[in-house]
A and B are shown apart, each in its own frame.
Chain A
C-alpha cells in the first residue's frame, strides 16, 4: 500500500525511536523529537511503538493514497484535511484510494506524526530509519534525505477498525510549559543570580532552532567554573555557551561538546518542548535524577 507525496518541506522526514549503540563512533541519535506523539501514533495501529513515522513540523505536507491505507495521526493539530474535510489528530483513519491528506498550518502544537499500518517501510541504517541530514544516514533512501515530492511511502495492507487515543491520555500543549530539568554537575558553578534566574524567569524560544538544538533567550547566565574538556552530551542537555543564552540539545545534537550545562531536560519535558513554536515561552523546574526516572517509568505504563 502506498502514499504518493505531493508536497513536502526539508523539515518533513522519516523518523523512528532513534539510533543507539553507536554514540561512541560520533553518530548522533536522531528520532522523533516528540516521542510521546510517536508512541501514540504507533499505538493507534498496534505497531511497535518506535516504528518509522513521518515527522511533520508546521505543515506543508500532502499525500495521495494510491490504495486504501490505514494511517494514524498524533501530536500537533496542523489543520489536517482529507479532501478538504478537517481531521483532528489522536486517531487512526482509513485513507481511501484517491483521497488526499494534507497538513497546512499549526493550530495547536508544532509537530505532528503520521504513522501507517506496520510502520512506513525503509531500510534501517545502523539500526534505525531515523533521518539525519547532516550525517547522511536514514530516511527513505538511507542517505539522510528529507522526504520530497514524488516519493512513495509504503506501508502494510489492511484496514483495522479506526480508534482514538483516550481523551484523558492526550498531552495538553500548555502556553508556558514548566520543563523538568535534571540538575547536572556544573549547576553549582553558575553565579547565584544566574541560578535564581534560570529557574524563576521565563525563557523565550528563539527562531534559531532545528533538530540539533533550540536556543532560548532570557537573562544572561554566568558560568564561573573552569573551562571544560569535551565530553559526552546526553539528550536534552541544556548547555550555556559564553553568550549566556542556553541551548537545549536535541536528537540530532553533536555527540560530545565542551560547554557547561545546567543539566538535561527529562524526556517528558522534551516532548513538551517539541510542540513549542519560536517566540513561545517556557520555564525550567529543577528535579532530581532518581525522582525523574521513577516518574518516567510510571508514565511509560500507559503503553504496556
Chain B
C-alpha cells in the first residue's frame, strides 16, 4: 500500500491507497473509511469509498483535513472486525429475465447450468456503490464469464436484474437504462428509503448469489414481468 492524498475539490481530498483493482484491497478500504469517519466526526460531509480510493468531503480547511487524514491512517491495518456484512441474494437465472444467459454460455462453451454455477459459487466483495442508489459494483467473476458491456445499452432494465460487465457483477436496484449482460433477476429490494441505512449493500460487504427456481422467486416477491414491462 502506498498512501497518497490528492486535492480534488475545494472541500474534498482523495485518499489513494492502491493502484489496481484487487479483492484484497477491500478490508483496507473499509478500515480506512472507518478510521476517517471517526477522525472527522461531525466535520465529515461525505465519504465515498471505491475500488482503490476513499474520497473525503469535509467542513474544515483542506490543510487541517490533510493533517487529520494522515493522523487517522497511521499504522492502518485491515481490520478483520471491520469486515462488512455477508448477504445471500436469491436469483432466478432464466433467459426470460436474463436474456444474455445463452450468450454467456455460447461465448464460454459452457452449459447454462455451468454459467449459473460459476456465477453463484463465488463470494463477491462490494467494491463501490454508484451509477444509481444502491447499485453495488461486485467482482470478480470467473474469467470464463467475463463479457463486455452491450454495444447499445438498453433503455429500460427491470428492477432486480442481475448482470455482468467484464469481470464485474451487479444487480439493478430500480428500473433504469443499462448496458450490462443480464443473466437473471433477484426478488430482493436493494434500495429502500424505509430501511435503516437505505441500501442493502454497503461498500465492503460480501455477496453470494443463490440460484432459486421460478416458484421460489415468485414466493419471495419477485416480479417476472418482461424487461420492458415493469411499472
Give A residues with C-beta under 8 Å from B.
20-27, 125-126, 134-137, 182-185, 229-232, 234-237, 254-257, 261, 263-264, 266-267, 289-290, 292-294, 296
Contacts and interface: CB of A to CB of B under 8 A. Distances in A.
B130 A26 contact: yes
A182 B14 contact: no
Interface string B185-228: 00000010100011100110000000000000000000000000
Nearest to B20: A229
A264 B57 CA distance: 13
A231 B48 CA distance: 8
Contacts, number: 133
Contact of B62 (A236, A264, A290): A290
Interface of B: 6-12, 14, 20-21, 33, 45-55, 57, 61-63, 128-135, 137, 174, 176, 191, 193, 197-199, 202-203
Contacts of B193: 125-126, 137
The list of the 4 closest CB pairs from A to B, nearest first, reads A232-B55, A232-B48, A234-B9, A185-B6
Contacts of B48: 23-24, 231-232, 255-256
A210 to B, nearest CB: 15
Contacts of A184: 6-9
28 contacts: A20-B46, A23-B48, A24-B48, A25-B197, A26-B129, A26-B130, A26-B199, A126-B193, A136-B174, A184-B9, A185-B6, A185-B14, A229-B53, A230-B128, A230-B130, A231-B50, A232-B48, A254-B130, A254-B131, A256-B131, A257-B130, A263-B9, A264-B8, A264-B9, A289-B9, A289-B62, A290-B62, A293-B10
Contacts of A230: 50-51, 128, 130, 137
Contacts of B47: 23-24
A293 B9 CA distance: 9
Given A25-B133, A255-B129, A235 B9 contact: yes
Most chain A beta-carbon contacts within 10 A, residue among B10, B12, B55, B134? B10
A28 B226 CA distance: 29
Contact of B45 (A20, A136, A266): A20
Given A136-B174, A256-B48, A289 B7 contact: yes
Given A26-B135, A126-B198, A229-B20, A256 B50 contact: yes
A25 B131 contact: no
A81 to B, nearest CB: 38
B174 A26 contact: no
Contacts of B133: 22, 25-27, 135, 137
Nearest to B46: A23
B6 A22 contact: no
A137 B45 CA distance: 20
A173 B20 CA distance: 44
A255 B129 CA distance: 8
A24 B46 contact: yes
Contacts of B53: 229, 231-232
A126 to B, nearest CB: 6
Given A25-B133, A26-B199, A290-B63, A232 B7 contact: no
A135 B10 CA distance: 26
Contacts of A136: 174
Given A231-B48, A267-B10, 10 more contacts: A22-B133, A24-B47, A24-B203, A25-B202, A182-B9, A232-B48, A257-B130, A289-B9, A289-B62, A294-B61
